């Protein structure tokens, strides 16, 4: 998609930051307001009150004539649609273009669209970030995140292409039966156990019927950590914005029980691993150089992708995350990566970690860092370098 055509007619001194209503929308819009941008949210009907009511921008009148009025909220305008795919409607795209909108995409762009290629080809609004790389997160793609990590020379768990080869504990990354985009992972220890556990979960309606097609990945035992990076095309530098770990329901509830309580509860309550949020965490400084090394390798790998995977030739732009675990082996620690986010992570708590503060003097959210990059690009007249 031609960048000059996307930005044609845009008033770059009057930009609006756009988001889909969910995932990291509030994080992005709060950050945008910190740097003087207007915001617009595309919200799905039935889930719009968060954006057009609770966090809508409004002016609070001063209690007395001696005080100044103040403002609250971070969502300036909400466009309510029946389904997120309606953002592709010509009328809505025209409105976004008239608002000089730069869209910050998230995982919703993949989860809620039947055909993601329509976003790549038919969404004529500039996207901050890598428009065509998002699909590489999906493990069913011909070239996916595992291939990208291997290309980068980053350690990943052993992948078993055939269940007959299982010779250690594995994590079967099956999809949930009712919501295909949610995880219903289960652990197996050998080929027989794999078939047994998968069949039981299918019968109970926990996993989708195609669970045998799911990735079978070595089960890595370690401290889970998500390394949340930001690559700036403007400076050519990689930044570590923060680290966090996932919180899952109802797994976290089980982990708060004693072993005997867990055994009793599991007889009546099925274990689930549906992501419900994140918890900010830190890592010791001796691991930071290793983490940066992984991030730099990953950036270089994205920048060397062929045109059929990345027509822009820009590689990763802005936020991305390498998600894995810190493992202890032979008296030393290593980082194993088993998941990748090629866009803004849904973890505003990243700002609670100190790493961005070490760079900027104060910690900032990913949303604020995105807005700062857009602001710098406008000032340097380089907006075309940060959008696709």
What confidence tens digit (pLDDT) does each residue in 352-373 have?
Answer: 999 999 999 999 999 999 999 9
Condensed to tens digits (0 to 9), the pLDDT of residues 58-81 reads 998 877 776 677 789 999 999 999
Q: Report pLDDT for 75.
A: 98
When the pLDDT of each residue in the chain is averaged and rounded to a whole number, the result is 94
Among the four given CATH numbers 3.30.420.40, 1.20.1090.10, 3.40.50.1110, 3.30.470.20, the one describing domain 145-155+222-246+277-362: 3.30.470.20
Tokens at residue 17, please?
């930051």
What DSSP element (H or E) covers 369? helix 366-379
pTM summary value: 0.90
Domain range 3-128, CATH class: alpha beta
Give Cα separations from 134 to 110, 145, 158, 221, 327 (angstroms): 8, 10, 23, 27, 28
Q: Report pLDDT for 180.
A: 67
Q: Report pLDDT for 181.
A: 66
CB neighbour list of residue 49: distance below 8 Å, 6 or more residues apart? none
Give Cα separations from 176 to 22, 134, 353 (angstroms): 20, 21, 32
CB neighbour list of residue 100: distance below 8 Å, 6 or more residues apart? 10, 11, 12, 14, 15, 16
Q: Report pLDDT for 55.
A: 98
Domain boundaries defined on the chain? 3-128, 145-155+222-246+277-362, 159-218
Provide the 8-state DSSP code for 260: H
Report residues of the chain scoring pLDDT below 70. Answer: 66-67, 180-182
Q: Report pLDDT for 179.
A: 73
Are the CB atoms for 353 and 280 separated by under 8 Å? yes
CATH 1.10.3470 fits 159-218, yes or no: no
222: helix, coil or strand?
coil
* CA 148/CA 136 separation, integer angstroms: 8
């Amino acid at each position: 998609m031609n960048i000059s055509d996307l930005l044609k007619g845009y008033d770059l001194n009057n930009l609006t930051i756009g988001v889909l209503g969910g995932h990291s929308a509030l994080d992005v819009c709060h950050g945008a307001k910190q740097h003087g941008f207007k915001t617009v949210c595309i919200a799905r009907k039935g889930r719009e009150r968060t954006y057009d009511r609770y966090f809508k921008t409004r002016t609070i009148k001063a209690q007395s004539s001696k005080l100044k009025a103040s403002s609250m909220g971070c969502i300036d305008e909400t466009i309510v649609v029946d389904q997120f795919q309606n953002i592709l409607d010509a009328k809505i795209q025209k409105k976004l273009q008239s608002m000089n909108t730069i869209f910050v995409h998230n995982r919703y762009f993949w989860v809620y669209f039947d055909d993601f290629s329509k976003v790549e080809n038919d969404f004529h609004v500039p996207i901050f970030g890598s428009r065509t790389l998002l699909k590489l997160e999906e493990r069913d793609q011909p070239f996916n995140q595992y291939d990208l990590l291997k290309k980068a020379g980053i350690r990943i768990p052993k992948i078993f292409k055939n269940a007959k080869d299982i010779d250690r504990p594995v994590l079967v990354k099956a999809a949930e039966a009712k919501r295909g985009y949610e995880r219903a992972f289960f652990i197996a220890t050998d080929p027989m156990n794999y078939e047994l556990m998968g069949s039981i979960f299918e019968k109970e309606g926990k996993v989708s019927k195609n669970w045998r097609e799911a990735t079978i990945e070595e089960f890595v035992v370690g401290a889970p950590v998500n390394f949340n990076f930001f690559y700036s095309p403007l400076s050519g530098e990689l930044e570590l914005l923060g680290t966090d770990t996932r919180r899952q329901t109802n797994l976290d509830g089980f982990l708060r029980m004693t072993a005997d309580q867990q055994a009793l509860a599991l007889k009546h309550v099925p274990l689930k691993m549906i992501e419900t949020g994140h918890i900010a965490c830190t890592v010791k400084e001796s691991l930071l150089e290793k983490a940066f090394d992984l991030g730099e390798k990953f950036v270089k790998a994205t920048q060397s992708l062929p045109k059929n995977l990345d027509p822009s030739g820009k590689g990763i732009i802005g936020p991305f995350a390498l998600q894995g675990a810190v493992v202890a082996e032979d008296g030393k620690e290593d980082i194993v990566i088993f998941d990748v986010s090629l866009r803004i992570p849904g973890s505003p708590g990243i700002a609670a970690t100190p790493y961005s503060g070490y760079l900027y003097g104060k910690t900032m959210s990913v949303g604020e860092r995105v807005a700062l990059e857009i602001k710098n690009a406008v000032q340097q007249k380089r907006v075309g370098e940060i959008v696709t």
